[in-house]
Structure 1
């Protein structure tokens, strides 16, 4: 009697399909394994034979050993999506799973690398979050700036500011233009994580997405998934206002946004690195322009064809995460890991590590690695490492200097 691969985890197969955006039918077609068999594997009613598992693993671009790893307990944190309401469920499932994989990879890296200490305003309790006023949101945005010593001017690099405060981020293209991002706190390490879609070509819109997710992290951590679903539109509005206030402090932009022209807004876009559309909405939210003037600006905005793409969108460079790629390079350079050992230790493929860690395509598969220069790390005892040269010590990742 054939009993299949012992230790197979059906939940891992379900998750892997979600990460690749594949239905059971699509996976069956790609692998040559029947849809009923795949369904039984996922439900735990049957275990695949090795040859069949190899076909499925190949179709999903994952090693067969991936499906022997138990699915971690991700906790009960709430997922906040910055996405168009018409986004297909598949797009959300991909982003959610990629965020979970980022967390898994981060936990593995934390065996040897110490992330920056969290430096965030205290997250709000549920009762406070549901009763937030606009003035309180404006104040929270300024509190965050003051805590991070960002001043009241334009923020040079929003992702670096967020990561220097201990938020782990990734930026990756999904193939869904309507997906902007997703974030949540994970109880396992008591740290927030952020996924930002790289499908947009506009760097300024990506900056706004990061600030928007930061708003969710600070304001809505105490809310449940049911709260998110019930109050989705209001929570999105609050996160949008936080992002506007964080990127464009009222005291600094008010003078320039008092009945501006589109050419004035274009100049401000270059300075503040936010979209012209966001500047118009900021001016309206601060009551610096009335409804009639706002409508006039939007009509002229459309007449210039800017709804399809604004000036400077193709010249401003997109910001990229630095914590994850620096950590991987540090482990390869100073931690005694080879690329094959690192992949075997984490369980992820070269492509998934490259995408989750914002590394160049082919970085994990090409030898030798081009390693960045880092200052001497600070060591502390207590971690387990398969790499002999690490001596069981933790590397202290240098924080970005603001």
Structure 2
């Protein structure tokens, strides 16, 4: 008889954002018993296993498998609130693993862009000197995008080989995160951002922030080894890089010179630069285009107008959805390389992970039910 894998139970529990006590209540057992299940000291009986499957929505096979692949990580940078707990972060780690596995599976059939980092002889010195304009400028030059606005940074990142995903709706205290991942010797840099309760313009900045971690920190720092003060500093550096990358100094100052610099001007520039008014204001202040008095005054005006939560254009601008994995999947299915229903089966066979179909559809930004379609079925579109 196959052994029950307690680590898989813990992973499924984390994915569902449940504590041990939460799961114990749903299963009708003590939290000590759930802990024993997860630590391999006890095996749930048939009735409890049925309740586990019904509660956590993972297939029964998931709990009786061992990973059949090598993996590694350089550590994860979370752009999250300081109050985020391990319970709140853990579901995102499950999403990240499924996302990387899905991308690795597609690599067998699809040629994706290769992620290449520009060479810096003095990157550590530039970081020490807080010269984020030069770092951002070199990356823009390397990607041949000049000083122009970036209409959609998510698509720009996918075009250059990043693996992008969205966090489910219940992970409210994690804004975004990124890390360097390895699966069976294949390297990926993964970025996940919020799916809801954020605007397209805030999404732009969050992704640029994670891009900053990639270019400045991913080869030099393991975030798990940073203390709180050091971590805050790296987060601040990533924010400053994001500002420099999204709002190149020369071009942005030229636009500010239209003056006078007020919220009306910044609101008009938001539509051009695709960056939130709050971020535009901060960049103007850090470039010394406005005084501290002007900065404080406009911050108060932002609060007065209620723009902390919703700014102009937020409600009428749709957030970006990752395209890379979805398009690669559709390419395979449309060209009869595999059927949609075979993809979860082949992932299970290769990686020994029987993921819920809905979870795979979510990480690949596929329509619900896409991976369940069998040959001969009619797919009904909205």
- Helix, strand or coil for the counterpart of 1:254? helix
TM-score, reference length from structure 2:
0.88
1:52-63 to structure 2, matched below 5 A, reads: 52-63=48-59
1:161-200 Cα shifts (integer Å, max 9, x gaps): 1011111010233324442111100133222011111122
Question: Is 2:300 the counterpart of 1:299?
Answer: yes
- Helix, strand or coil for the counterpart of 2:341? helix
Q: Kindly tell me: are residues 122 and 37 of structure 1, through their superposed partners in 2, closer, same or farther at Cα, counting changes over 3 Å?
A: farther
- Helix, strand or coil for the counterpart of 1:192? strand
User: In 1, distance between residues paired with 2:76 and 2:335?
Assistant: 35
Shift of 1:27: 1.5
Shift of 1:370: 5.8
Question: Is 2:5 the counterpart of 1:9?
Answer: yes
Equivalence for 1:141: 136
Please, which runs of 5 or more residues in structure 2 have no aligned partner? 348-353
User: In 2, distance between residues paired with 1:220 and 1:241?
Assistant: 14
Equivalence for 1:253: 252
Pick from 76, 80, 90 the counterpart of residue 77 of structure 2.
Answer: 80
TM-score, reference length from structure 1:
0.84
Pick from 44, 47, 65 the counterpart of residue 43 of structure 2.
Answer: 47
Equivalence for 1:165: 160
- Helix, strand or coil for the counterpart of 1:152? coil
Shift of 1:244: 0.8
- Contact 2:326–2:365 (Cα < 8 Å) also in 1: yes
Pick from 190, 193, 196 the counterpart of residue 193 of structure 2.
Answer: 196
Deviates further, 180-189 or 273-282: 180-189
Question: Is 2:363 the counterpart of 1:363?
Answer: no
Aligned length: 366
- Helix, strand or coil for the counterpart of 2:189? strand
Deviates further, 201-210 or 333-342: 333-342
Equivalence for 1:128: 124
| Structure 1 runs (4+) greater than 6 angstroms displaced | none
Pick from 160, 182, 185 the counterpart of residue 177 of structure 2.
Answer: 182
1:254-298 Cα shifts (integer Å, max 9, x gaps): 122355110100000011110000000001111111211101111
Q: Kindly tell me: are residues 49 and 335 of structure 1, through their superposed partners in 2, closer, same or farther at Cα, counting changes over 3 Å?
A: farther
Equivalence for 2:243: 244
Please, which runs of 5 or more residues in structure 1 have no aligned partner? 373-402
Shift of 1:34: 4.2
User: In 1, distance between residues paired with 2:163 and 2:368?
Assistant: 20
- Helix, strand or coil for the counterpart of 1:190? strand
1:7-47 Cα shifts (integer Å, max 9, x gaps): 32211111121111111221222234543332112111223
Shift of 1:118: 1.4
1:103-132 Cα shifts (integer Å, max 9, x gaps): 12222222333321113325899x928953
- Contact 2:343–2:371 (Cα < 8 Å) also in 1: no
Query: What's the Cα RMSD here?
Result: 2.5
User: In 1, distance between residues paired with 2:95 and 2:216?
Assistant: 23
- Helix, strand or coil for the counterpart of 2:74? coil
- Contact 1:123–1:218 (Cα < 8 Å) also in 2: no
1:246-285 to structure 2, matched below 5 A, reads: 246-258=245-257, 260-285=261-286
User: In 2, distance between residues paired with 1:90 and 1:302?
Assistant: 32
Equivalence for 1:311: 312
- Contact 1:80–1:228 (Cα < 8 Å) also in 2: no
- Contact 1:33–1:56 (Cα < 8 Å) also in 2: no
Q: Kindly tell me: are residues 218 and 64 of structure 1, through their superposed partners in 2, closer, same or farther at Cα, counting changes over 3 Å?
A: same
